[in-house]
Structure 1
Amino acid sequence: MAKGDKVKRVLAFTGAAAFIAIAVNLLVSVINAHKDKWRKKKRGLLRSNVCVNLSAFEIHHLTDRIIAKSNEIHDLVASVHLENVSYENAVAPLADLEEFQYPLVQSCIFQKMVATSDEVRKASADAERILDSHFLMCRKREDVYRVIKAYDKKGEWLGPEAKRYVQSLVKDFERNGAGLTSSKRKEIESLSSQIEKLSLEFIQNLNNDNGFLFFSEAELPGMPSRFIESLDKSEQGKLKVFLKSHHVLPILEYCKIGSTRKSVAIAYCQRHGRENLAILKHLVHLRHKYAQLLGYSNYADYVTEPRMAKTSSKVFEFLEELSNNLSDLATTELNFLKDLKMKEEGDASFGMEDLAYYIKRAEELHYNLDMAEVRQYFPVNLVFSGIFKLLEDIFGLTFKEVKDVEVWHETVKLYAVLEFSSNDLLGYVYLDIFSRHGKFTHTCVLSLQNGSSSSKGIEQIPVTLLISHCPKQFDECPALLRFSDVICLFHEFTHVVHHICNRAAFSRFSGLNVEGDFVEMPSHLLENWCYENLSLKMMSGFHKDITKSITTEICKSLKKKRDLFSGLKLKQEVLTCLFDQIIHSRDNIDIVELLRHLHPKIMLGIPLLEGTNPASCLPRSAICYDATCYSQIWSEVFAADLFATKFQDDLLNLHAGLQFKKKVLQAGGYREPFDILSDYLGRKPSIRPFVEIKARNSLPLAEIN
């Protein structure tokens, strides 16, 4: 085999043959071939089982082999006599199976997001459905659970990470009902099926809602002409406004007539009111019943247990403390908006229908930014080179493009990520950033292979994929990014760094396998760099002359725009999170009455819009984020503490960055997040820096007045 062919195959093993253990002599030869080039230390046998360019047939075949091997190992563990159970015959086989088959599973399912062939995308989606079902069944196997539980009771540990792995296995089985009686397991299955069916029905009701209102053009003053021109007209010449976000949100931000805003806001918050409210009530009841069958007092405790928060009471404590600390700032902001409304409309009353409009008015009056002009400073290639440079400066990393490798599309690139000081190879990242037909349309990071070390001493190197939908260069005109896209890319690229720097030995704790309310924290931390003068200039350059970076004035305005009226905006988020936690921690609660009581309490006396339906205005509480709505703001709050304490005064503080990489990113999922943060900060994390940053950067009222 030619040297170039070896390089092409180091990361991409195609066909079902990838399932067979990789030949040691090939691995050694590949590593040796790269040793001089990367000058890396060989920490064992680095290997990758990532497969690209699988055909539909190969995906189906590999899926069958994954399931067959999985069944074989689970059956083997289940056959162990309880009196003879040991780490080697019970735990190690499952840990090694997870490590080995994870990249193969990902190889089957990531193609549904990037493949150029409809047939391959369909095969990949089918594989995901089949594999998800299989692994759910594995987590419910009572025979395997008994063996792992028996080992757990013996209390023989090889180390803290192995101990946490065993405990994680036991908890995973128990949370899926493996420890229940046969009758209770059947009840759990029935409840799960009902919850899934109702959740789907709830989503479909909202998606299929075609409600609309008619307005005359005179009732829509202030709306952009292009918006008016986009609306359908009735035979009487009335304009048709659909109760969809792309119509509702612009009206709430731009329409000058309060009665129009109010009627639109009320109608939007009443969509499928009767049907979805009944579904929400039923869903909450079923979720409580599900959690109680598994031994939890309520559904919120069931959901938060494997997360950083651990209990719903901890979430309540966090939200209430945050809300109280934001009240002074939010009150000052609200009074300013009330004065603005009085000047413009001569009306002292202030409702929820006014919030978005007057925030937008304040922004236009005092911090109006031409975002189209801002976009001229962010050519795609320059943004990525700036991101690379910043991550190199903060974390001591190096990104080097790897040529002549197999990829699924000609625009896909592969980068090796190395330790700057030693040139050790840390991992690989595929960048699939340009838009094309059939590709997933959002920016995200996928783990293709977790870094881990098997019981056989073979190390798998981290491999990840960043997907985006950036525009391509056309007729020598550079592709330009919106500022929101720049933030999104930097956020997601931090997930790449987290994935690659994670040094957990077990695949289960590696990659991005950390607590759900912790995984976004590093990315929220790094988002701060997108609003600082020094880092923005590193990522920008006027598209006609890239030596001209973005102006300092624009940088300041972007930062002010981010925190504009942040107190009121965060109060709205706290309202959603508290409502979500309450309905999922207490059974038989009047959901409508709860929102009617909670709304003015949190929103500083602003009343709930009459006729508002909780299922329509707070749909996240019903589906997708049930009892976890708090996660986003939780991550943002503690990320702010990290930024203020370690980086605010020195954005390129390499020592703080290296310590963050070592103590936070490398720790993986086998340590408690609060312990990780406390170790890094030298104290317990606090909400105070978050509140202080928002208060400092929010609307400077004295300046405006």
Structure 2
Amino acid sequence: MKSNFMQLTTLSVLMMGGSQLVHAAETTRSTLPKFQAKDIPALCDANIKKIQNDLSAFEQKNIKKNAKAAPVLAEWDQVFSKFEDFYGPIGLYSNVDPDEALRKAAEDCEIKISEFQTSVFQNPKLYEQIKKLKTNDEIEKKYRQDILDSFENTGVQLTAEKRARLKAIFDELAKIEQEYARNVRDNAEKLEFTPAELKGLPDSYISGLKKNEKGNYLLGFEYPEYRPFMELAESDDARKRYQTAFTRRGTEKNLGLLKQAMDLRYEIAQLFGKKSYAEWVLQHRMAKDPATVNKFLSEVHATVAPLEKKEVQTLREFKAKTLKIPVEKAEINRWSEAYWSEKLRKEKYEVDQEKLRDYFPTQASQEWIFAISSDLYGIDFQPAKVDVWQDEVEYYDVKDKKTGEMLGGLYIDKYPRKGKYGHAAVWGVKGGSTLTNRKPISALVTNFNRKGLNSDELETFVHEFGHALHGILSNTRFASQSGTSVERDFVEAPSQMYEEWARRKETLSTLANYCKPACPRVDDALISKLNAVHSYGRGLHYARQTLYAQFDMALHSTDALKVQPLEVWKKMEGATALGYVPTTEFPGQFNHIMGGYQVGYYGYMWSEVMALDMLSAFGDNLNNPEVGQRYRKTILSQGGQYEAEKIVHDFLGRKPDNKAFFDEITGQRVK
């Protein structure tokens, strides 16, 4: 999964990615504190009490109407940065710490923080203090407006009765969203498969599995176990059983939690006089309103639906030919698509995803990503020994090559383990500020195979690294606007653009330089095959992305109260080329719509429009450091201190357009 998923509560999302600041100027390394589970409750209460006192003092300040904004905004930012020093790590550890008790204590603290944040942004006296300010430039103007939006979206202008109800909803949503994520993340269920059911999987995969007393293999829901099985296991029944269980891993309870969240979100919209939750949320996104999003998704669907049908038919014909059966009997099901797609890739394009792990050893891939990022952006990654939450976690100082200036810190947590967040994501744990020389920190979390990556996983690694760099290379005045604190429908664009570096020969051919022991070098022939594979399946991929986005919008429409999520999913998935599989429960494990991306899944494709257009600036030389430095300065360093549309225009020298995106969908983009 390629996401910048940050386990944000509903309110945190409204706060443009969180608030951030420090006690004093920071000029050296800044790392994350370690906690003990038993200490977190008291620390949580103490940190909330401290910021309450700071805000009480801020509330009493004698700020005159039209007072200069700069010192007041700096103080506001500083208050929340001190708080972020605590809640940033808490949000990360609740998802990655090996200690279940600590994860639970961190989750409980997150609930308290969410409740506290709601009370802050419902405080009319604090709101009036910010309203009085007169800004001096565009950065101050946008930051002031971001803060006012946070107040207004939390109901500061509503009646006391409505404010109280809104706070109760926010508090309840925080608990529901957290429980939903925990049900997926902590599901320890293991499925039992016989040795015969593992036929087709390589010895390197089987050797890492656990057996029970009957000699059967036990598989859980971590991606390094699930994905190869779905692509390589020959047993159709086993794949169906595994996929069905995988879609149900959130348990049926999550369907109820999702419905509760939908109804509460609809009630939020009603409190603000909006027709739907989507209308309420989108007012602060690039897209602005549901009509624009639905039109975009409809255009994408019209393009990809015929391609999806064509690709499924291609798979049916390939299956018929392989098994020597009539095409009409060669059915392709949801659980067999990945298997037959992989077989087609191997035969038609001679690409074996498992063998690609020899080309992309995991550690060599990381060192390669460091190298291309270093050359492109003029930065260095220097390992350092610091306290970490688990022994295999790595830490790096990121410095500017020319000046030696410390830019920020990077934590990398690559391998799966029990209780850890199960996908790939980056936590922007700490935002930077030029006012205080505060340095940002990003934590990159994945669940990779220890030996090597396939081409999809390599793209995921580069994608997530793009998020990490967006945070670390941020150079904003205010910490609250640092890094990925941008419009949610732009946040994926820098990462999606960076994926291209995992596809081209000019960059991929250098990966072998970092292999110890030596590994095969990517050559023209393999690049040609990988490009063909990348173009193959575009219809299936984008049709699925469109389905997810349209489902998300349907759950948060004007009809939300009448909608039962599983029934809507059955209808919508049932209308696709592969149909709906009875007893599967995808909505019960769709983390995005319960973890900050609600009314936001369309943003993956919306961002890709920007990403592919920005990519055009690099032309046929991805390694051009001149363009890289300009991109670093114009896009990455700006964080959210300007509107996304403005910084993209500044980089491109024109308005963005969607031609490259639709060329990508249809396989016509020139590489």
Residue pair 1:445, 1:496 contacting (<8 A) in 2 also: yes
SS at match of 2:382: strand
2:634 & 2:92 partners in 1: Cα distance?
30
CA distance in 2, matches of 1:124, 1:146: 33
What is the Cα deviation at residue 554 of structure 1?
A: 3.2
CA 1:523/1:337 → structure 2, altered by over 3 Å: closer, same or farther?
same
Identify the residue that residue 674 of structure 1 maps to in structure 2.
645
Worse-superposed segment, 308-317 or 59-68:
59-68
CA deviation vs aligned residue, 1:318-352 (integer Å, no higher than 9, x gap): 21122222245334323322323444342527564
What is the CA–CA distance in structure 2 between the aligned matches of 1:233 and 1:438, rounded to whole Å?
A: 18
CA distance in 1, matches of 2:191, 2:442: 46
> Quick one: which of 355, 362, 382 aligns to 1:401?
382
Amino acid at match of 1:417: K
When residues 328 and 667 of structure 1 are mapped into structure 2, their CA distance, relative to the original with a 3 A threshold, is same
2:623 corresponding residue in structure 1: 652
User: What residue number does 2:6 align with?
Assistant: none
Deviation digits for residues 28-54 of structure 1 (CA, Å, limit 9, x no counterpart): xxxxxxxxxxxxxxxxx6546935555
SS of match in other structure, 2:623: coil
312, 317, 323: which one pairs with 1:339?
A: 317
Q: 2:279 aligns with which of 298, 301, 317?
A: 301
Distance across 2 between alignment mates of 1:207 and 1:297: 34
* Aligned pair partner of 1:517 in 483, 489, 494: 489
| Structure 1 segments unaligned to the other structure (5+ residues) | 1-18, 23-44, 473-478, 699-705
Residue 407 of structure 2 corresponds to residue 427 of structure 1: yes
- The answer for the alignment partner of 1:362 in structure 2 is 344
Contact 1:560-1:697 at 8 Å conserved across structures: no
Residue 557, structure 1, aligned to residue 538, structure 2: no
Distance 1:618 1:629 in 2: 11
Q: Does the C-alpha gap of structure 1 residues 433 and 556 become closer, same or farther in structure 2, counting only changes over 3 Å?
A: farther
* Higher RCO (C-alpha under 8 Å, 6+ residues apart): 2
C-alpha change, 1:190 and 1:545, in structure 2 (3 Å) is closer
The aligned residue for residue 703 of structure 1 is none
For the structure 1 residues 234 and 311, does the alpha-carbon distance in structure 2 shift closer, same or farther, using more than 3 Å as the test?
farther
Whether the aligned pair in 2 keeps the contact of 1:376 and 1:543 (CA below 8 Å) is: no
Paired AA for residue 657 in structure 2: S
Report the Cα offset of residue 418 of structure 1.
Answer: 0.7
Q: Which residue of 2 aligns with 1:579?
A: 551
Indicate yes or no: 2:53 matched with 1:75: no
Q: Check whether the contact 2:279–2:290 (CA below 8 A) recurs between aligned residues.
A: yes
Contact 1:106 1:448 survives alignment (8 Å): yes
The worse-fitting range, judged by mean Cα deviation, of 571-580 and 374-383 is: 374-383
Asked if the contact 1:326–1:691 (Cα under 8 Å) also holds between the matched residues in 2, the reply is no
Aligned residue number for residue 266 of structure 2:
288
Q: Are the counterparts in 1 of residues 410 and 468 from structure 2 also a CA contact under 8 Å?
A: no
What amino acid sits opposite 1:70 in the alignment?
Answer: I
Structure 2 counterpart SS, 1:137: helix
The match for 2:357 is 375
Alpha-carbon offset, residue 160 of structure 1: 1.1
**CA distance in structure 2 between the partners assigned to 1:72 and 1:135 by the alignment:** 14
Within 1, Cα distance between the matches of 2:191 and 2:41?
48
2:603 paired residue among 613, 625, 631 = 631
SS of the aligned residue for 1:292 comes to helix
1:95 to 1:614, Cα distance in 2 relative to 1, 3 A: closer
Number of residue equivalences: 636
The structure-2 alpha-carbon separation of the partners of 1:595 and 1:417, relative to structure 1 and needing over 3 Å to count, comes to: same
Asked whether the 8 Å contact 2:31–2:386 carries over to 1, the reply is no
Correspondences of 1:486-525 after superposition (within 5 Å): 486-525=458-497
Structure 1 window deviating more from structure 2 (85-94 vs 649-658): it is 85-94
Q: Which amino acid aligns with 1:559?
A: N
Aligned partner letter, 2:655:
K
Q: How far 1:162 sits from its partner (Å)? A: 1.0
> 1:601-622 CA deviation, whole Å, 9 max, x = no partner?
5x35x54446766745867556
Match of 2:612 among 640, 650, 670: 640
Counterpart in 2 of 1:539? 511
* C-alpha separation in 1, matches of 2:192 and 2:419: 37
Select which of 105, 123, 126 maps to 1:141: 123
614-623 or 522-531, which deviates more: 614-623
Distance 1:210 1:299, change over 3 A: same
1:665 to 621, 633, 636: 636
- Computing the radius of gyration from Cα coordinates, the structure with the larger value is 1
TM-score by length of 1: 0.74
Q: Letter of the 1:570 partner, please give it.
A: Y
| Alignment-derived partner of residue 3 in structure 1 | none
Asked if the contact 1:291/1:299 (under 8 Å) is kept, the reply is yes
Indicate how the Cα distance of structure 1 residues 641 and 280 shifts in structure 2: closer, same or farther if over 3 A, else same.
same
The answer on whether the counterparts of 2:415 and 2:447 sit within 8 Å (CA) in structure 1 is yes
2:371 to 360, 367, 389: 389
TM-score where L is the length of structure 2: 0.78
SS in 2 for 1:399: strand
Distance 1:589 1:336, change over 3 A: same
In 2, Cα distance between equivalents of 1:446 and 1:595 = 30
Note the C-alpha offset of 1:187. 1.8
Structure 2 counterpart of 1:527: 499
C-alpha change, 1:348 and 1:168, in structure 2 (3 Å) is same
Question: What is the CA distance between 1:74 and its match in structure 2?
Answer: 1.4
- 1:701 aligns with none
1:638-671 Cα deviation digits (max 9, x unpaired): 322222x123511222332222122211222021
Q: Summarize deviations over 1:273-301 as a string: whole Å, max 9, x none.
A: 98665654444233211222133321112
Cα separation, partners in 2 of 1:221 and 1:293, compared to 1, 3 Å: same
Contact 1:542 1:548 survives alignment (8 Å): no
User: Matched residue of 1:348: which SS?
Assistant: helix
Residue in 2 that maps onto 1:321: 299
Tell me whether 1:693 sits opposite 2:664 in the alignment. Answer: yes
Residue 383 of structure 1, CA deviation = 3.2
Q: Deviations over 1:351-386 (max 9, x none)?
A: 643533432331232234344543334455543443
Extract unaligned runs of 5+ from structure 2.
Answer: 1-20
2:54 maps to amino acid: I
- Within a 5 Å distance, the mapping from 1:58-69 to structure 2 comes to 66-69=47-50
CA distance in 1, matches of 2:401, 2:477: 19
Q: Is the 8 A contact 2:224 2:449 kept in 1?
A: no
For 1:240 and 1:547, locate their aligned partners in 2 and report how far apart those are by CA, in whole Å.
31
Q: Is the 8 A contact 2:94 2:107 kept in 1?
A: yes
| Identity in percent | 22
Amino acid across the alignment from 1:314: T
CA contact (8 A) 2:278 2:553 kept: yes
Matched residue, 1:26? none
